[in-house]
Amino acid sequence: MTEKIAKTEAEWKQQLTPEQYHVTREAGTEPAFTGKYWKTKDAGTYHCVCCGEELFDSTTKFDSGTGWPSFYKPADEARVAEHKDSSYGMVRTEARCAKCGAHLGHVFEDGPAPTGLRYCMNSASLDLKPQKKDNK
């Protein structure tokens, strides 16, 4: 079981940029085609911007055409919690970091094989740690 991280709203506001706070702590959404990772193809791992938990591997990232970084599966399913989201007159599956509760984005059933899922994430909720280059 993942150890939970709890901070006050003041602590989150001190740690995060206003956009990161809005997206991760207030379940906001960055505008499509504006986030820093929507078209990134760099190899590495995507971590939660709030707590550093590894969430996605770049090998599962794909271009969904939606303007947000999309992945077909998490690095470890236990690290991404899914919840029913009935906001805005729609029923969707919200994705949150299981460790700190940060809002990441939503999961849709229109992704590629092998899972058929599209984890549509906000760049503001992620931190890409580049794959280390081998110096051989």
- Catalytic status, residue 120: yes
Residue of 119, 3, 99 lying closest to 50 (CA atoms): 99
Q: Which of 21, 104, 23 is nearest to 70 (CA)?
A: 104
Residue whose C-alpha is closest to residue 64's, from 72, 55, 73: 72
Q: Decide if 75 contacts 89 (C-beta within 8 A).
A: no
- Enzyme catalytic residues: 120
